[in-house]
Amino acid sequence: MPYVFYDTETTGLQTAFDQILQFAAILTDDNFNEIDSINIRSRLLPYVVPSPGALLTTRVKPGDIISKNLPSHYEFIRTIRAKLLQWSPATFIGYNSISYDEELLRQAFFQSLYNPYLTNTKGNSRADIMKIAHAVSVYAPGVIKVPTLGGKETFKLDRLAPENGFAHDDAHEALADVRATIYMAQLMKDAAPDVWAQMAMTSKKKDAVDYALSEKMFSLTERMFNKNYSWLVAPCGTNPKNNGQIGVFDLAYNPDDFCSLSVEQLIAVMGSKEKAVRSVRGAAQPIMMSANLAPENTKALELSPEEIERRANVVAADQNFQNNVQAALAGRFEGEEPSPYVEKQIYDGFVSDADGVIFEKFHGAEWSARPAIIDPIECARSSEFARRLIWVQQASLHSDQERERLKKWFIDRVTTEEEVPWTTIKSGMAEADKHLKDADYEKSAAISDIKDFLSDYGKCSHHDC
């Protein structure tokens, strides 16, 4: 299967509220030979305040991201989607992509009335070279050189790739980062083929789940707080409401102390600091290796092989315990109130088939016809996104009342002084001032431009609202 290596440059780190400004991708065969590519930039959405830190990192000038020569965000996303569909089926792979770039891409599709799950449905799968680098560093030590920053290991691409021989002179430019990602992929595939093959298998949710459930025990590794942690675990089944979520028991603990616990007590165990019971996301390319490869610092290895085997057998034989773990997975977040922000409701349910038909009509129609098309949309999230799309593209098509509503929403969003999960004028200015403290002349000039740009927000200066 071919690979699609991709990267994004964005307005910030809040995946639900920031936007992609640049998207670059290279289609390769399974030997990483380049077949096709795309490198495209977007105009800034009028209601997204860019983080000064993001602009300084990517060296993008504020005036460049509001240029009328750039496609609107909607047209930008349509172009990306068309190219990715043309390249499918494929393995979509980036660097720190599953937790970041992938979420931004899903949000972009979701907020543009498209299916957000393009990269892992209809034969597609997704992988993350940073996760593979974590796995290689643990299960094939010495294959890659891991640099340090402030005395701690760092897997940041702009440091890892040069440390391993890649001339990464243009870091944080999307296409350059894609090439750095391909370089690291080639290095690890060639030098650690067994780890590569196992991680390629877990890039597919079904295969990852099947592997976990077929093993009596296996080694699970995650990187948290700049450190790799490994556990020897026994599978306990999957969440009955989400078959991609796997429950596992840490064999460093004695299952005899847990098998009689109720579902409510197991939920408490999952939320405690010392987690005897863990959940694993099968769709997030988990690092799962054979039990005999568990690294030396795995806590369960302090036990005798006979005791480890006994504990794994206890878990495997106790169907009631496994059932309770599965019920605990299903009930852990039950009853939680949905987010008040529509962007955060992306995983709160699928759109109906009827709405899907409306979306298709919307995308195929002239803008003048779209306000009437969106009226029957059942999903409140999608209805709001549709109205925003029209407002950004051709605000005059809305009624006076709707245009005033969205204008007020826009001004409130960017000028609020309340604590909100997106960058506002106030928080952006404060962030810019922090960067100014240790800035040289060139950086100071860039920050001054950013502050001038931010001061114009809320005045509809770059949007006809």
- Evaluate whether residue 429 is within a structural domain: yes
Given this model, what pLDDT does residue 324 score? 98
| Residues 307 and 376 placed together within one structural domain of the fold | no
Whether residue 185 lies inside any domain: the answer is: no
Domain C-terminal end among 331, 354, 374: 331
Establish if 6 belongs to a structural domain.
Answer: no
pLDDT at position 193 over 90? yes
Cα–Cα distance, 176 to 450 (Å, whole number): 24
462 pLDDT exceeds 50? no
Q: Of 272, 299, 331, which marks where a domain is finished? A: 331
Provide the b/e sequence for 211-224 (b: ≥16 CB within 10 Å).
bbeebebbbbbbbe
- Interior CA angle at 259 toward 254 and 263, to 5°? 130
Which residue, chain included where needed, has tokens 């994004």? 8
Structure tokens at 227: 């450190």
Q: Which of 331, 360, 383 is the last residue of a domain?
A: 331
Give residue for tokens 């296996």. 218
**Contact criterion met (CB below 8 Å) for 322 and 244:** no
Confidence of residue 95 (pLDDT cuts 50, 70, 90): very high
Do 265 and 384 lie in a common domain? Answer: no
Q: Are residues 346 and 327 in the same domain?
A: no
Does residue 431 carry a pLDDT above 80?
Answer: yes
297 & 353 share domain:
no
Q: Does residue 239 register a pLDDT over 70?
A: yes
Question: Greater confidence, 169 or 227?
Answer: 227
Judged against a pLDDT cut of 90, whether residue 306 lies above it is answered with: yes
User: For position 336, what pLDDT does the model report?
Assistant: 79
Per the structure, how many domains does the chain have?
2
* Predicted confidence band of residue 263 (pLDDT cuts 50, 70, 90): very high
Tell which wins on pLDDT, 330 or 463. Answer: 330
pLDDT of residue 335: 74
User: Is residue 247 a contact partner of residue 277, using CB atoms and an 8 Å limit?
Assistant: yes
What Rg value do the Cα atoms of the chain yield, rounded? 24
Nearest to 325 by CA among 262, 280, 283: 262
The answer to whether the CB of 344 falls within 8 A of the CB of 16 is yes
Residue ranges with strand state E in 84-239 = 91-94, 125-128, 148-149, 152-153, 218-224, 227-239
Note whether 300 and 236 are same-domain residues. Answer: yes
**Which pLDDT value is given to residue 460?**
52
- Lowest-confidence range among 93-107, 164-178, 214-228? 164-178
Burial pattern 53-73, b for ≥16 Cβ within 10 A else e, equals bbbbebebebeebeeeebebb
Percentage above 70 pLDDT, the chain: 98
**Residue 102 confidence (pLDDT):** 97
Pairing of strands 20-28, 287-290: unpaired
- 222, 306: one domain: yes
Distance CA 314, CA 277 (A): 14
Residues 208 and 314 in one domain: yes
Amino acid 465: pLDDT: 46
CB contact at 8 A, 332 and 270: yes
Q: Residue 32 pLDDT > 60, yes or no?
A: yes
- Same domain? For 285 and 357 the reply is no
Note whether residue 163 is domain-resident.
Answer: no
Identify the pLDDT of residue 334.
80
Residue 286, domain member (yes or no): yes
Q: What is the DSSP string of 273-326?
A: SS-SEEEEEGGG--EEEEGGG--TT-GGGGS-HHHHHHHHHHHHH-HHHHHHHH
* Residues 346, 325 share a domain: no
User: How crowded is residue 159: how many other Cβ atoms within 10 Å of its Cβ?
Assistant: 16
How far apart CA 372 and CA 111 sit, in angstroms, is 19
Report the sign of the C-alpha dihedral through residues 457, 461, 463, 465, in that order: positive
HSE of 31, CA atoms in CB hemisphere, 13 A: 1
**Proportion of the chain above pLDDT 90, given as a percent:** 92
- Alpha carbons 208 and 282: distance in angstroms, whole number: 6
Question: What is the overall mean pLDDT for the chain?
Answer: 95
pLDDT of residue 169: 79
Residue 44 falls within a domain, yes or no? no
Position 285 in a domain: yes
In terms of domains, do 302 and 365 share one? no
In this structure, the answer to whether residues 320 and 406 fall within a common structural domain is: no
Element (H, E) at 36: strand 34-41
The parent domain of residue 373 ranges over: 342-455
> Both 324 and 364 in a single domain?
no
CATH number at residue 228: 3.30.1520.20
- Residue 423 burial (CB count, 10 A): 26
In a domain, 310, yes or no: yes
pLDDT reading at 47 higher than 50: yes
